[in-house]
């Protein structure tokens, strides 16, 4: 018998097989893909057999898992059914799994407005908050990625990505001519946008805007947007970043634009929200969905106005 401590590993295993990847399973669980892989590996080490075959095309069940897979699926279907019944007793809680940068830079600054209107709702976001963390599916998943045809996904907004720097570095770059303005200033690269086909990288931005910059592929690399923005604010370099995620820091003067706003580019990918389909009887979750969609609509309108020059931000001419 598998030890009870491996229930999370079994859950990660079943979700990874069902969804076809560690990434999709991680979204459902609100943890990283690496953490999903670690849970499965721990179970494999405990049992002494290979459970998943990992390859370029994704993952698939290993021969040793196949006989147990139907039982595993049925077991978690029963657990899901039990969880749904029990969740009706949990009160007004909302559990959210979302990209950490989205939470910190966009959702958290706005969430007080929802709380003011609905003071009895408690949140657990990425495992933290005033609601306790619970085992099972989350109520809302928010991710950044390509367009989805699935109607379960709400497109929140696409972002407008452009160069950002500290006010001090904006003043320094303005002393140079427009064409060689970036020469000599460290470039900060964000891996967050690396899979976006819109070309949101420094080499592509430099080529598109005719800016003189040697070796635009070099510089510091960050996975987290917040870490890159901290580096930018500390005068460590110039980064490309989405306008929607930096609006408060931009309007607060913490960072500024070294180039005209017209040099930005719309992302092809966007932020999407998926709410669990069984929201019937959970009015607080439906209210949160309505609020999230409306806040996103306002952000999209704000971005459209900013991208066409309808809003003024300090930038070098």
C-beta neighbour count of 82 within 10 angstroms: 11
Give residue 278's pLDDT. 74
Give residue 135's pLDDT. 63
Give residue 95's pLDDT. 92
What CATH number should be reported for the domain whose range is 4-87? 1.10.10.10
Whole-number Å distance between alpha carbons of 242 and 296: 14
Phi-psi region of 126 (alpha: psi -120 to 50; beta: other; left: phi over 0): left
Class of the CATH domain delimited by 92-317: alpha beta
Whole-number Å distance between alpha carbons of 165 and 231: 9
pLDDT tens profile 204-213: 999 998 888 8
260 versus 174: which is more confidently predicted? 260
- 238 CB burial (10 A radius; 0-12, 13-18, 19+): buried
| Average pLDDT of the residues in 146-164 | 91
Is pLDDT of 150 > 50?
Answer: yes
pLDDT tens profile 104-115: 999 999 999 999
Is pLDDT of 42 > 70?
Answer: yes
Domain locations along the chain: 4-87, 92-317
Whole-number Å distance between alpha carbons of 174 and 73: 61
pTM: 0.69
Of 52-66, 76-90, 244-258, the range with the lowest mean pLDDT is: 76-90
Give residue 30's pLDDT. 72
Is pLDDT of 98 > 80?
Answer: yes
Is pLDDT of 239 > 90?
Answer: yes
Is pLDDT of 194 > 70?
Answer: yes
| Average pLDDT of the residues in 227-247 | 94
Is pLDDT of 124 > 90?
Answer: yes
| Average pLDDT of the residues in 76-97 | 72
Is pLDDT of 86 > 70?
Answer: no
- pLDDT class for 312, splitting at 50, 70, 90? very low
Is pLDDT of 83 > 70?
Answer: no
Give residue 165's pLDDT. 94
Is pLDDT of 167 > 80?
Answer: yes
Give residue 146's pLDDT. 93
- pLDDT class for 296, splitting at 50, 70, 90? very high
């Amino acid at each position: 018998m598998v030890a009870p401590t491996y229930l999370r590993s079994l859950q990660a295993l079943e979700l990874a097989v069902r969804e076809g990847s560690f990434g999709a399973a991680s979204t459902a669980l609100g943890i990283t893909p690496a953490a999903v892989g670690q849970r499965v590996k721990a179970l494999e080490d405990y049992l002494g057999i290979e459970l998943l075959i990992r390859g370029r095309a994704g993952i698939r069940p290993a021969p040793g898992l196949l006989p147990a897979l139907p039982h595993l699926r049925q077991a978690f279907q029963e657990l899901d059914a039990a969880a749904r019944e029990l969740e009706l007793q949990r009160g007004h809680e909302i559990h959210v799994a979302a990209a950490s940068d989205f939470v910190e830079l966009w959702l958290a600054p706005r969430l007080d407005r929802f709380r003011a209107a609905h003071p009895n709702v408690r949140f657990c976001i990425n495992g933290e908050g005033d609601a306790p963390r619970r085992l099972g599916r989350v109520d809302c998943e928010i991710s950044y990625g390509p367009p989805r045809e699935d109607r379960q996904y709400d497109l929140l907004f696409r972002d407008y990505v452009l160069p950002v720097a500290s006010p001090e570095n904006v003043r320094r770059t303005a002393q140079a001519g427009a064409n060689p303005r970036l020469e000599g200033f460290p470039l900060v690269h964000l891996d967050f946008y690396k899979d976006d086909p819109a070309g949101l990288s420094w080499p592509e931005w430099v080529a598109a805007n005719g800016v003189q910059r040697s070796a635009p592929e070099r510089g510091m690399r960050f996975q987290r947007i917040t870490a890159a923005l901290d580096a930018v604010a500390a005068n460590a370099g110039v980064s490309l970043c989405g306008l929607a995620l930096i609006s408060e820091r931009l309007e607060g003067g913490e960072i500024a634009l070294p180039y005209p706003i017209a040099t930005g580019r719309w992302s092809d990918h966007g932020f999407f929200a998926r709410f669990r389909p069984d929201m019937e009887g959970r009015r607080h979750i439906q209210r949160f969905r309505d609020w999230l969609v409306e806040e996103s609509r306002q952000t999209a309108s704000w971005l459209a106005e900013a991208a066409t020059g309808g809003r003024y931000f300090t930038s070098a001419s």
